[in-house]
Amino acid sequence: MSDTTLSHPPAAARTEARTVSFRGGGFAPERKRWVGGVVFVLLIAIAEWGTRAGWISALTLPKPSDVLQTLIDLHQSGLLYKHLSPSLSRLVVGAALGASFGIGVGVLIGLFSYVRAGLVPLVAAIFPIPKIALLPLFVIWFGIDEGSKYALIAFGTFTPTVVATYGAVDNVDRSLIRMGQSFGLSWLSIVRKIVLPGAMPGILSGLRISLAIAIILLVAAEMLGAEYGIGAYILEAGALYDLERLFAGVLILSVLGVVVSTVIGLVERHLLDWRS
Q: Judged by CB under 8 A, does residue 235 bind another protein?
A: yes
Q: Judged by CB under 8 A, does residue 181 bind another protein?
A: yes
Closer to another protein by Cβ: residue 15 or 57: 57
Long-range contacts of 113-117 (CB under 8 A, 24+ apart): 116/166
Closer to another protein by Cβ: residue 48 or 236: 236
Q: Judged by CB under 8 A, does residue 116 bind another protein?
A: no
Alpha carbon distance 142, 154 (integer Å)? 12
Stretch 125-144 residues interacting with another protein (CB under 8 A): 136, 139-140, 143-144
Single-letter residue type at 42: L
Q: Judged by CB under 8 A, does residue 267 bind another protein?
A: no
Q: Judged by CB under 8 A, does residue 170 bind another protein?
A: no
Neighbours of 235 (CB within 10 A): 18
Q: Which of 100, 49, 130, 174 is nearest to 138 (CA)?
A: 130
Closer to another protein by Cβ: residue 5 or 175: 175
Phi-psi label, residue 236: left if phi above 0, alpha if psi -120 to 50, beta otherwise? alpha
> What are the Cα distances from residue 104, in Å, to 98, 147, 158, 161, 162?
10, 21, 10, 9, 8
Stretch 47-76 residues interacting with another protein (CB under 8 A): 57-59
Question: Which x/- pattern, by CB under 8 A, does the window 144-163 give for another protein?
Answer: x-------------------
Question: Which x/- pattern, by CB under 8 A, does the window 12-51 give for another protein?
Answer: ----------------------------------------
Q: Which of 203, 118, 216 is nearest to 162 (CA)?
A: 203
> Least distance from C-beta 155 to another protein, angstroms?
18
Strand (E) or helix (H) holding 89: helix 79-111
Q: Judged by CB under 8 A, does residue 226 bind another protein?
A: yes
Q: Judged by CB under 8 A, does residue 193 bind another protein?
A: yes
Alpha carbon distance 265, 34 (integer Å)? 20
List of residues contacting another protein (CB under 8 A): 57-59, 136, 139-140, 143-144, 175-176, 178-186, 189, 193-194, 197-198, 200, 223-227, 232, 235-236, 239-242, 272-276
